[in-house]
Amino acid sequence: MLKRLPITFWATVFVTLVCVSLVGLDFWRSWNARAVLLEQTERSATNLARAMSQHADDTIKSADTSLNDLEERIETDGMGPDRVDRLHRVMQDQVRALPQLDGLYAYDASGRWIVNSLAGFDPKANNADREYFRFHREHRDEGPHIGLPVVSRSSGKWVIPVSRRIDLPDGRFGGVVLATIDIDYFRRFYASFDIGINGAVALLSNQGVMLVRRPFRAQGIGASIVDTPLYRAYAHAATTGIGMFRSTQDGELRLNSYRPLQHYPLFVTAALSKEEALAHWRRDTLLHSLGVLLLAGLLALFGQRLIAQMRRRLEVERELRDARDALAGLNATLEKMALQDGLTGLANRRQLDVSLANEFSRAVRQGSSLALALIDVDHFKRFNDRYGHGAGDECLRAVSQAIRQQTPRRPGDLAARYGGEELAILLPNTDLAGAHAVAERMRDAVEVLQIAHEDSPAGIVTISAGVAVLVPRRGVDNITNLLDAADRALYAAKLAGRNRVAAGEPPDPSRPLSQP
Ligand SMILES: Nc1nc2c(ncn2[C@@H]2O[C@H](COP(=O)(O)OP(=O)(O)OP(=O)(O)O)[C@@H](O)[C@H]2O)c(=O)[nH]1
């Protein structure tokens, strides 16, 4: 079944396979490169989040360490006028030592400013309204409290308040120590990251409040992100994670890595723009794919032309084969025509001569007999004269057909037109009796035709035949001997009254002829 499909079909399959494989392999390679790129981006975002989380933890930790120290000093020594100077110096030293600190403050139980790291302040200032102050007044919690970002009353900067409660010796609320962390400190740190043009990083509280974000927007500080997919994912996992989210702020699709701080109820997120991460890959893939498509297109075009040429060549070959077959048929017809008599359909004289020569040689070689019968239509001249030459032709055709039907079908047997209205029957391997019988059957067959011939004594068309047989000897007998013998026999048949068969005399009186 497969073998029967033409070569052009397989060539088309091959070219198609090559083109499809080329495009398929390129697609697969590009898709893999994309996955690798996203994996790298994911790794970068995760590393960034880890660094940010560590940094925020360290920043708050050192501020809290200062607070812890101040809390201890105040709880031990109190905040009397004799201690305030000392505390002020300690606070100033700490603020100088820690760049993240905007200021350190201590408030009494009524929220009044007692001492801080500033050079001077209004003694009537009161922070009892601040959220962190109210928190500590109402909670006996011993740990630090990270408040919501506020604009500092003293420096006017956005700060993150980190505070601790001061307990009086009897455990009652004695005030608050506060460290304010400059948001600008985080901003400067976050600005040093290479996160592309559309990347974003942020520090947020576990309650979903934005503390710092890059890109920085003042109105974004303190904003709630509880309705964002990022916060939902973080709140759900409450641990490190990664996800592709579309920003509700700028609509950018980013790969977000989020991570909680180790010691404080905050978390960070590092988000890298998917568009940016894949921008180079997109450009590269576009160029690459165009190249591959062009190559596949050229290959397909070239292949198609090649296949078209193959198809044309096969067609030409088939046409040549058809022409050759037609020529062979024509040759066969011509050959037949060259060996056939046009009027009677019997073999012509040329074929008779060739066959006679061949059979004579064979008979010499094999020492076999060769019989020949010469047949002549009786009074044919008269027939022509009476009925016309056309009718004569028709009569000859009918007589020939009757004779052909009576000619034996053995190999070598041949009925031929010898010339004019005379026919010859060649019968190899036949003795005189056999040849005589064949001629007699032919004579009878013509008689049965009952073709009217009013100028013949018989009243119908008849034939006379002379048969002769020879077992030819090499170098002694020849074809003429046989022809002459048959001719003589025919002459004898005519003489004897026509419409009969006569056997010829042997050409050599020393060789007897077998009698019918
Ligand atoms: N119509 C026609 N006549 C032919 C053809 N070939 C030979 N003849 C004629 O056949 C006749 C032969 O005549 P003859 O040889 O005198 O002998 P015959 O009239 O047959 O008389 P017998 O042979 O003695 O019986 C001639 O008139 C030829 O013209 C042919 O192909 N067609």
In one-letter notation, the amino acid at residue 324 is R
Cis omega (within 30 of 0) on the bond before 215? yes
CA 347 / ligand 1 centre spacing (Å): 19
Check pocket membership of 376 for ligand 1, CB cut-off 6 A: yes
Instruction: Give the CB-side neighbour count of residue 429, counting CA atoms within 13 A.
Output: 9
- Structure confidence at residue 384 (pLDDT): 96
Phi, psi values for residue 462, rounded to 5°: -130, 170
Say what angle helices 380-387 and 389-406 make with each other, to 10 degrees. 140
Task: Provide the mean pLDDT of the chain.
Answer: 91
Check pocket membership of 386 for ligand 1, CB cut-off 6 A: no
Distance between CA atoms of residues 487 and 432, nearest Å = 15
Distance between CA atoms of residues 234 and 253, nearest Å = 17
Check pocket membership of 404 for ligand 1, CB cut-off 6 A: no
CA 422 / ligand 1 centre spacing (Å): 8
Neighbours of 386 (CB within 10 A): 15
Q: What is the mean pLDDT of residues 182-193?
A: 93
- Structure confidence at residue 474 (pLDDT): 87
Check pocket membership of 393 for ligand 1, CB cut-off 6 A: yes
- Structure confidence at residue 506 (pLDDT): 53
Q: What is the mean pLDDT of residues 140-163?
A: 89
| Ligand 1 pocket, mutate which of 343, 375, 382, 384 (most atoms under 8 A from CB) | 384
Give the number of residues written for the chain: 516
Q: What is the mean pLDDT of residues 453-476?
A: 94
Residues 467 and 502 sit within 8 Å (Cβ to Cβ): yes
Q: For the structural domain made of 27-296, what CATH number should be given?
A: 3.30.450.20
Coil/strand/helix, residue 270: strand
Coil/strand/helix, residue 133: helix
Phi, psi values for residue 413, rounded to 5°: -65, 135
**CB-based contacts of 273: which residues, under 8 Å, 6+ apart?**
196, 197, 198, 199, 252, 253, 254
Check pocket membership of 384 for ligand 1, CB cut-off 6 A: yes
State the ipTM, two decimals.
0.94
Q: What is the mean pLDDT of residues 210-235?
A: 88
Phi, psi values for residue 280, rounded to 5°: -65, -45
- Which atom of ligand 1 has the smallest separation from the CA of 419? 6
Q: Model confidence at 505, in pLDDT bands (50, 70, 90)?
A: low
CA 389 / ligand 1 centre spacing (Å): 10
In this model, does residue 507 exceed pLDDT 80?
Answer: no
| Ligand 1 pocket, mutate which of 346, 376, 378, 380 (most atoms under 8 A from CB) | 380
Check pocket membership of 380 for ligand 1, CB cut-off 6 A: yes
Protein residue closest via CA to atom 30 of ligand 1? 420
Strands (E), 431-511: 463-470, 501-503
Q: Model confidence at 132, in pLDDT bands (50, 70, 90)?
A: very high
CA 420 / ligand 1 centre spacing (Å): 6
Protein residue closest via CA to atom 18 of ligand 1? 379
The mean-pLDDT minimum among 91-95, 238-242, 390-394, 497-501 falls in 238-242
The mean-pLDDT minimum among 145-154, 174-183, 251-260, 440-449 falls in 145-154
> 114, 122, 115, 180: which is closest to 146 by C-alpha?
180
Check pocket membership of 396 for ligand 1, CB cut-off 6 A: yes
Q: Model confidence at 238, in pLDDT bands (50, 70, 90)?
A: confident
| 231: its two tokens | 């916060």
Homologous superfamily (CATH) of 349-503 is Reverse transcriptase/Diguanylate cyclase domain (3.30.70.270)
In this model, does residue 263 exceed pLDDT 90?
Answer: yes
Catalytic residues: 421
**CB-based contacts of 474: which residues, under 8 Å, 6+ apart?**
364
| Ligand 1 pocket, mutate which of 381, 446, 453 (most atoms under 8 A from CB) | 381
Q: What is the mean pLDDT of residues 153-178?
A: 91
- Structure confidence at residue 512 (pLDDT): 42
Residues 463 and 450 sit within 8 Å (Cβ to Cβ): no
> 112, 514, 12, 26: which is closest to 291 by C-alpha?
26
Instruction: Give the CB-side neighbour count of residue 428, counting CA atoms within 13 A.
Output: 21
- Structure confidence at residue 122 (pLDDT): 78
> 324, 309, 259, 339: which is closest to 50 by C-alpha?
259
Q: Model confidence at 248, in pLDDT bands (50, 70, 90)?
A: confident
- Structure confidence at residue 3 (pLDDT): 60
Distance between CA atoms of residues 10 and 2, nearest Å = 10
Burial of 50 per CB tally in 10 Å (0-12, 13-18, 19+): middle
In this model, does residue 136 exceed pLDDT 50?
Answer: yes
Check pocket membership of 247 for ligand 1, CB cut-off 6 A: no
Q: Model confidence at 2, in pLDDT bands (50, 70, 90)?
A: low
pLDDT in tens, 448-463: 999 999 999 999 999 9
pTM value is 0.59
Q: What is the mean pLDDT of residues 66-75?
A: 92
Residues 372 and 426 sit within 8 Å (Cβ to Cβ): yes
CA 35 / ligand 1 centre spacing (Å): 106
* Percent of the chain clearing pLDDT 70 (strictly above): 97
Protein residue closest via CA to atom 32 of ligand 1? 393
Stronger pLDDT, 118 or 32, i.e. the higher one: 32
Check pocket membership of 466 for ligand 1, CB cut-off 6 A: no
Strands of the sheet containing 463-470, edge to edge, are 414-419, 422-428, 370-377, 463-470, 501-503
pLDDT in tens, 292-343: 999 999 999 999 999 999 999 999 999 999 999 999 999 888 877 788 998 9
Protein residue closest via CA to atom 16 of ligand 1? 381
Domain coordinates of the chain in residue numbers?
Answer: 27-296, 349-503
Coil/strand/helix, residue 63: helix
pLDDT in tens, 112-121: 998 989 877 7
Residues 203 and 87 sit within 8 Å (Cβ to Cβ): no
Distance between CA atoms of residues 64 and 253, nearest Å = 36
* Percent of the chain clearing pLDDT 90 (strictly above): 71
Element (H, E) at 138: helix 131-138
Check pocket membership of 377 for ligand 1, CB cut-off 6 A: yes
